[in-house]
Amino acid sequence: MALETLFAAIVADLTLVRDAYEAAGLLRDSGHGSAAWTLFGGADGAERFRRDTLLADALVRNRVARLVFRRQGPSNIVVFGGNNVGKSTVVNVLAAATVAGTSPEGGHTRHAHAFTADPGALFAWNPYAFNRFRQVPSSQLAQSGFDGFAVSTITSDTLPPDITLWDSPDCDSVGSGRYLAAVVETATAADLIVYVTSVEKYAVNDLVEWLFDLTEAGIPILGCLNKTPRKDRALVMRRHEEDILPAVSRRLNRPAPSIRMVALRTMTEGEEADLWGADHPEAAELRDAAVAGAAPQDDAVAGRAALQAASERIDRVLEPARAELAVRAAWTETVGGAVAAFVATYESEYLTGDSVIDPFTKLNVQLLDLLNPEIPGLSEVMRGLRKIRRLPADLLKAGWRFISERTETVREADLAPELRAYAHAHRALLRAIHDRIDAERGAPRHHPFWDRLAVVWQQRAADLAEDFRRATERHMEQTDAEIRSAARDILKALEQRPGVLRLLRTVRLSTEMGGLLVGFAIPGHGHIGHDLLDRVVIAPLMMSATGAAADFAVEGYVAQRRSQIVEKLRAEARTIATGLYAAPLHAIGEEVFTAIGTLGLPQALLDRLPANLDRLRHAADRLA
């Protein structure tokens, strides 16, 4: 891939990432409770993420571009610093003229403003510089949005014509996050940054961190101490070099930059013009140092340094996008695990557990009803079973109260066996989801998806409960229909053995547990349980010496038909769980992502962007 093509692909991917983040508010708001705050565990992490994202994007477009395009045009001196340190005044000192508007109030400058002898040559060499900003007339700058910047033509008797001065907004006042992108864009276009500080600002950690970021990106820095009485200047500069920079270096575990400092004379209001007069040699010292520092650099060296700085930040820049994909995968896993827990609980408690009696009790009763409707007690049992079938809604409502409220007025023993199994299955699903949400939200850094999901989950619980009730009612009716069908099939098979049929017609029913059938009494066999048909009666009778082949065929058919019941009920439970829970839960997940702002960045981009940065770095090293 050609160098320019590779560079264009990197810029395009960074644009997609930044656009997605801006649309989701990650680069606008880092206050308490915001998405960035939650993702990065507080204001410090959120601010570092925002700075890294803006820096990586701007460094690539404004400085890594030097590896790709032949650089022409003026050199840029950018005046940079915190709120109310006198940046605009320093611009005027460097120009030796009043070109930038000043104000005693902080936050006066909120847009980037260039002062140059040749506006047309400013970024003619680089089509990507300031491509996220609009150039507006300087007279309209204050009324433009924060994506506006101005270029004014000046003629200076003290500056070379190939020098452009930039007045940049502050980077630390209240509300400066709105124009932080302009700060970063201007700083990364610099050939030299004049870092303006004061006796009040020189020890501010956030401001000092900028010096580390910009130096590591290969941008030369010249310090300017402003608004500081003469008696304090030497102390402030010494402390800045010997105490402040080393302390921040230790905290960040990054090498401290070496920065030359020039102090300006302190003026009272009305004397600003004297700052660049003949009696102020500090102004000339600052200007000469700035012009020398902005001399043409080795573009390959500058570009590789910026590329290294951007590459070191890319993992943090992509962290929200990767977190979103991880959360999507985690929610899919959670839903799948919860549905599996539902099915497993239903199977173990109603279909395959040691205490399972209900499906086969119903099967026996249905078969006996077909064999001999006159069996004593059978009609009462059948009425009981039909009553359960007729009133599933009431039982399900009671079951839901037991599941959701665990009230003492509804006991598990009062629930029909299948409903009780469903109740436990439903509770297993809820527990799986609740446990995952609570675990994720308990982490100091977590995706805001989980916070929003907790709210939506509470709002939707009642709807899911009603869907659960209706689906369970339908499935209980389907269960009975399947058992009746199986009983008819088994009767056809048993008709091959008249002796078995005669024996079955002699049974006496044993009803316990509030009238529900739990067993049969057969002469010579005593009181038996739900395995009557295949294990206790059919198998012994059909193990006789005569007719063994036919008997085994019937016995095997009965066992097979019972297995089919279990498998069909298991499959239906899975279908219900998938339709009742999986689809709605996935829909809730998408609703939550929409509410919090979906980034929608694909895994392919997240893999491609770091890889392309590596490719560009290797290509630049080969060309060095």
- Band of residue 239 on the pLDDT scale cut at 50, 70, 90: very high
pLDDT tens-digit readout, 537-591: 444 433 333 344 444 455 565 667 667 777 777 787 788 778 878 888 898 899 8
Same structural domain, 496 and 589: yes
Same structural domain, 292 and 422: no
* SS3 per-residue string spanning 592-608: HHHHHCCCCCCHHHHHH
Q: Is the dihedral of CA 226, 229, 230, 231 positive or negative?
A: negative
Same structural domain, 271 and 375: no
Same structural domain, 356 and 273: no
Residue 576 maps to a domain: yes
The pLDDT assigned to 516 comes to 38
The pLDDT assigned to 84 comes to 84
Same structural domain, 152 and 91: yes
The pLDDT assigned to 326 comes to 93
Same structural domain, 392 and 262: no
Same structural domain, 403 and 531: yes
Residue 5 maps to a domain: no
pLDDT tens-digit readout, 341-372: 888 887 787 776 544 445 555 666 666 666 65
Same structural domain, 142 and 265: yes
6 near 601, Cβ under 8 Å? Answer: no
Residue 463 maps to a domain: yes
Same structural domain, 167 and 101: yes
Does residue 406 register a pLDDT over 70?
A: no
Read off the tokens for 11.
Answer: 């810029």
Residue 611 maps to a domain: no
Q: 268-282, 354-368, 433-447: which has the highest mean pLDDT?
A: 433-447
The pLDDT assigned to 28 comes to 77
The proportion of the chain whose per-residue pLDDT surpasses 90, expressed as a percent, equals 35
> Angle at Cα 155 formed by Cα 153 and Cα 161, nearest 5°?
95
Q: What average pLDDT does the segment 181-210 reach?
A: 92
Q: Residue 22 — φ and ψ, nearest 5°?
A: -65, -40
Residue 476 maps to a domain: yes
Q: 285-299, 413-427, 458-472, 523-537: which has the highest mean pLDDT?
A: 285-299
Look at 211-215, 385-389, 416-420 and tell me which has the smallest mean pLDDT: 385-389
Of 500, 496, 526, 536, the residue nearest 360 (C-alpha): 536
- Ranges assigned E (strand) in 62-186: 75-81, 112-116, 134-135, 148-153, 163-167
The pLDDT assigned to 556 comes to 62
The pLDDT assigned to 6 comes to 94
The pLDDT assigned to 271 comes to 57
Q: What average pLDDT does the segment 437-452 reach?
A: 90
The pLDDT assigned to 375 comes to 56
- Band of residue 280 on the pLDDT scale cut at 50, 70, 90: confident
The pLDDT assigned to 415 comes to 60
Same structural domain, 558 and 514: yes
Residue, of 541 and 315, whose pLDDT is higher: 315
Q: In which region does residue 322 sit, left (phi positive, over 0), alpha (psi from -120 to 50) or beta (all else)?
A: alpha
Q: What average pLDDT does the segment 60-69 reach?
A: 94
Residue 46 maps to a domain: no
CA distance 529 to 512: 12
CA distance 388 to 367: 18
**CB neighbours (10 Å) of residue 534?**
20
pLDDT tens-digit readout, 543-555: 333 344 444 455 5
Name the domain boundary from 296, 330, 361. 296
The pLDDT assigned to 361 comes to 59
> Angle at Cα 441 formed by Cα 439 and Cα 442, nearest 5°?
65
Residue, of 422 and 603, whose pLDDT is higher: 603
The pLDDT assigned to 267 comes to 62
Of 21, 72, 71, 75, the residue nearest 51 (C-alpha): 21
pLDDT tens-digit readout, 89-145: 899 899 988 888 765 555 567 889 999 998 888 888 999 999 999 999 988 888 888
Does residue 467 register a pLDDT over 80?
A: no
Name the 3-class secondary structure at 274. Answer: helix
Look at 287-291, 298-302, 489-493, 526-530 and tell me which has the smallest mean pLDDT: 526-530
Does residue 328 register a pLDDT over 80?
A: yes
Name the domain boundary from 229, 262, 296. 296
> How far does CA 585 lie from the centroid of its chain?
17
The pLDDT assigned to 364 comes to 63
Same structural domain, 96 and 199: yes
Residue 362 maps to a domain: yes
The pLDDT assigned to 127 comes to 92
Q: Which helix (H) or strand (E) holds 484?
A: helix 448-494
Q: In terms of residue numbers, what domain contains 415?
A: 322-605
Residue 302 maps to a domain: no
Question: What radius of gyration do the chain's Cα atoms show?
Answer: 39
Q: What average pLDDT does the segment 312-331 reach?
A: 94
pLDDT tens-digit readout, 496-508: 666 666 665 555 5
How many independent structural domains does the chain possess?
Answer: 2
Of 235, 354, 353, 224, the residue nearest 286 (C-alpha): 224
Look at 29-43, 333-347, 448-462 and tell me which has the smallest mean pLDDT: 29-43
**Tell me, what CATH number does 213's domain have?**
3.40.50.300
CA separation, residue 533 to residues 38, 282, 500 (Å): 61, 107, 10
Read off the tokens for 451.
Answer: 């916070």
Does residue 320 register a pLDDT over 70?
A: yes
CA distance 42 to 30: 8
Buried b (16+ CB within 10 A) or exposed e, 229-262: eeeebeebbeebbeebbeebeeeeeeebbebebb
Look at 106-120, 273-287, 333-347, 527-541 and tell me which has the smallest mean pLDDT: 527-541
Q: Which of the 8 DSSP states describes residue 138? A: G
The pLDDT assigned to 114 comes to 93
Same structural domain, 193 and 289: yes
Look at 214-228, 304-318, 589-603 and tell me which has the smallest mean pLDDT: 589-603
Does residue 409 register a pLDDT over 60?
A: no
